[in-house]
Chains A and B, each alone.
Chain A
Amino acid sequence: MSLPNDDNMSPHAQLSSHFFGDLLDSVIADVASECHRIARLGLDRNLDEEEEELRLSAQARAMVADSSNSGETTSKYVVDIFGQTHPPVATEIFDCMNCGRSIVAGRFAPHLEKCMGKGRKARLKVTRSSTAAQNRYSRGSPSSTYSYSNSTSMNRLSNGAPGVAGEEYSNGSFEEL
């Protein structure tokens, strides 16, 4: 690779620009060689399939955006696939396994929480810290199941960037129904 203005440059600058040019050439050759190998050995990804999936997703998003503008998707269900309709709060009644009282299905979880003494006050903020979240997974037992999080994120966390600590979703779907 020859850079322009070779003649106007000091010998030192010439040398370093040559050096840089050589280095660049070498890196380009490296990448070309690597790609050639990948392609010849059939190790490249199936980009066609990936692109097709991307295209379908983009299309779907455009379609959904369109229909939500016309106010279609936000509408409530009329019937389910079986032709049934359901009340916002499930009305089935059964006996609580803990105290034996009759409870409406849609109110069972809040009842059970009180009934089993897991009152709202028992909700400890501490359990949301990262160590608690981890203890929850590992429970100190080697045979216990756990979920894997790439420790990359841990590193990021220690660097003060967004990470995994104590993240959880909560849901209050009830209000939404």
Chain B
Amino acid sequence: MSTRNPSYTNPKSCKHLADYKLRHRLNGFNSLQEHLKTTPAGKSSVSQSQTKIPRCGFCDGYRERLYLCLICSSVSCSSHTLLHSQSENGHDIAVDVERSELYCVLCCDQVYDPDFDRTVMLKHIMDLPPNRSGVADEEGAVRRSSKRRRLVSGLEFDSKKSKQMVSMRDRRAKSCYPWGLRGLNNLGSTCFMNSVLQALLHAPPFRNYFLSDQHNHEVCRKRSSDRLCLPCDIDVIFSAVFSGDRLPYSPAQFLYSWWQHSTNLASYEQQDAHEFFISVLDGIHEKEGKARSPSIDNGDCQCIAHRVFSGLLRSDVTCMCCGFTSTTYDPCIDISVNLDTPNCSPTGLANKSVKPNENTGISTLVGCLDLFTKPEKLGSDQKFFCENCQERQDSVKQMSIKRLPSVLCLHIKRFEHSPARKMSRKIDRYLQFPFGLDMNPYLSSSVVRNRFGNRIFAFEGDDLDTSAEYEIFAVVTHSGMLDSGHYVTYLRLTNQWYKCDDAWITEVDEGVVRASQCYMLFYVQKTLYYKANEDLSCQPISSRRDPFVPIAGCC
């Protein structure tokens, strides 16, 4: 298993670079620093003189790649660098003038050094408008990440506690299937609700919270005169579903109170699973968030909906004239992505242009996420007022994820809306999604680092305490047309997939899931996923050892 961290370990430098640093320390880097120039777009180069074009000291050429000797500052072209190091003993390390990258003449290779990158970045930050470089403005990030750490351990605690609670609740169960599998009756076109409930019921940290009785409906009803409590209704469903009873359950009470809660919603027939999901979390937040922390905004809300699902998005708008960056943060409960168009996949950033789907021509979730975090030039109609230039300028906007949630819900916008014709249409295109999802490339730290040429530098918020590796556990699919269709959820429990089609729970091959028409994808942090599997599989579920007896032979 490869776990790639967004921040790298320092690369091993070649012997020559190591020798150079031993002898000259940072002198060469430091004296180079004042000659470094950066463009607002983030590219660095070396410019020794305003007027003179650098030329090779041997052949006077200026069109080839030029290198500046770090010891004597003489310039040689790529063909003559070796000659220089041969004539001047020990002059082995040079700088690529146009790219400000280190080059070892003897290894004939570009080499990397943290001190050098630091030199470049510091100069870059100095050159950018004060305090708003979009690089290092983060006191909050530190505070937040420590809060986050507490939060994560809190969830782990839940999980332990829930294990006991779960086994108590399950005494009646004689199931040979993972726990909490129970069909939900369709109450009349309510598959939008059932599909989302199934995903919520099996979202590990969310499930742990309710199974460990942290919102017990009996306790809550005694305490509060307010009879409308959505978390209570969810708790009731949890009890029912984890009771071991196998007859499909009718979430009628839940529908009733959700409906009361969502007074401004249209008829249930028009209901969209994603909107339902949002409104349920909203309902939980309204009840729990206010009780716990009335004054805090969504980003730090400690209600169970936000603790599990809430992430933080970062949006950078950079002035194309001076490089000033305006950064804003927005909490989010899920991420809605546009279907990427195959065949015109985004290019540009070197590490993002190598996309495997380029020739196969299918849409991929990774492609959608690339699109989501791609820098986008803002149109002339929405010019950004640059505080530094004090005027409206062309700008580039880029989204990234500042903080990932424990459970990541991705919503695929399968709609095409034509305002002209006042028509909506469903895009029935297949979207490939991975079971294991690496969100590292979309983290703010990765995105910002990439914007600044991937220098080895402590970019703000290199959140090391949260993992960006996710595993899928639920897929909500939609089949049929825009106004008549059917929602079905696939659940992954102890690495087996189950199809939850209202009352019907069946076992399916993972291929069926991979080929399905996904509408909402639920991923959980890898560590929580494995923990959840342990929780489920070590339950005293039945007298049988094998939890996966084939259907016919089961009980």
Contact = CB atoms under 8 A, between A and B. Distances in A.
Listed from nearest, the 6 A-B pairs whose CB atoms lie closest are A148-B332, A167-B415, A60-B511, A109-B188, A60-B514, A90-B185
B271 interface: yes
B432 A57 contact: yes
A143 B382 contact: no
A7 interface: no
A69 interface: no
B372 A145 contact: no
Contacts of B487: 169, 171, 173
Contact of B268 (A80, A109, A152, A169): A109
A80 to B, nearest CB: 5
A122 B506 contact: no
A6 interface: no
A164 B417 contact: yes
B360 A54 contact: yes
Interface in B243-289: 246-248, 250, 252-253, 255-256, 259-260, 264-275, 278-279, 281-282, 285-286, 289
Interface of B: 2, 4, 8-9, 11, 43, 63, 65, 96, 98-99, 101, 110, 112, 175, 177, 181, 183, 185-192, 246-248, 250, 252-253, 255-256, 259-260, 264-275, 278-279, 281-282, 285-286, 289-290, 294, 296-298, 301, 305-306, 310, 313, 315, 330, 332-338, 350-351, 354, 356-357, 360, 362, 364, 366, 371-372, 376, 378-379, 381-382, 397, 399, 411, 413-420, 424, 426, 430, 432-436, 438, 441, 446, 449, 453-454, 456, 478, 480, 482-487, 498, 501-507, 510-515, 519, 551-552, 554-555
Interface of A: 18, 22, 25-26, 29-31, 33-38, 40-47, 49-51, 53-54, 56-61, 63-65, 73, 77, 79-84, 86, 89-90, 92, 94, 97-98, 105-113, 116, 118, 120, 122-124, 127-128, 136-137, 139, 142-153, 155-160, 162-177
Contacts of B434: 49-50, 53
23 contacts: A18-B63, A22-B63, A36-B110, A37-B112, A38-B454, A46-B4, A46-B438, A82-B177, A83-B554, A86-B248, A110-B188, A144-B286, A145-B281, A147-B336, A148-B336, A149-B336, A150-B336, A155-B382, A159-B379, A164-B413, A167-B417, A171-B486, A173-B485
B297 A170 contact: no
B499 to A, nearest CB: 9
Contact of A143 (B246, B289, B456): B289
Contacts of A150: 335-338, 372, 399
Nearest to A39: B351
A173 B250 contact: no
A148 B330 contact: yes
Contacts of A38: 350-351, 454
A58 B360 contact: yes
A147 B411 contact: yes
A94 B187 CA distance: 12
Among A37, A40, A149: residue with most chain B CB under 10 A? A37
Contact of B186 (A82, A156, A169, A174): A174
B442 to A, nearest CB: 11
B187 A106 contact: yes
B235 to A, nearest CB: 17
A32 B183 CA distance: 55
A127 B267 CA distance: 10
Contacts of A43: 8, 351, 446, 449, 454
A86 B271 contact: no
Contacts of A29: 65, 98-99
A150 B418 CA distance: 18
A40 B334 contact: no
A82 B417 contact: no
A80 B185 CA distance: 13
Contacts of A142: 297-298
Given A34-B454, A61-B430, A109-B268, A170 B336 contact: no
A62 to B, nearest CB: 9
Contact of B188 (A25, A65, A97, A108): A108
A109 B430 contact: no
A144 B503 CA distance: 33
Contacts of B435: 53
A110 B4 CA distance: 51
A44 B436 contact: no
Given A43-B351, A169-B272, A108 B255 contact: yes
Contacts of A116: 259-260
B506 A80 contact: yes
Given A37-B112, A49-B438, A139-B282, 17 more contacts: A29-B65, A53-B434, A64-B512, A80-B505, A81-B551, A82-B505, A86-B503, A143-B294, A146-B278, A150-B338, A152-B397, A155-B378, A162-B415, A166-B417, A167-B415, A168-B275, A169-B519
Contacts of A57: 432-433, 514-515
B419 A157 contact: yes
A166 B422 CA distance: 10
Contacts of B265: 127, 136
Among B286, B362, B482, B514: residue with most chain A CB under 10 A? B514
Contacts of A136: 264-265, 275, 279
B436 A33 contact: no
B237 to A, nearest CB: 15
Given A31-B350, A83-B554, A63 B515 contact: yes
A41 B450 CA distance: 12
A61 B223 CA distance: 52
Nearest to B252: A108
A107 B247 contact: no
A162 B416 contact: yes
Among B366, B515, B552: residue with most chain A CB under 10 A? B515
A1 B303 CA distance: 62
A118 B2 CA distance: 53
A5 to B, nearest CB: 19
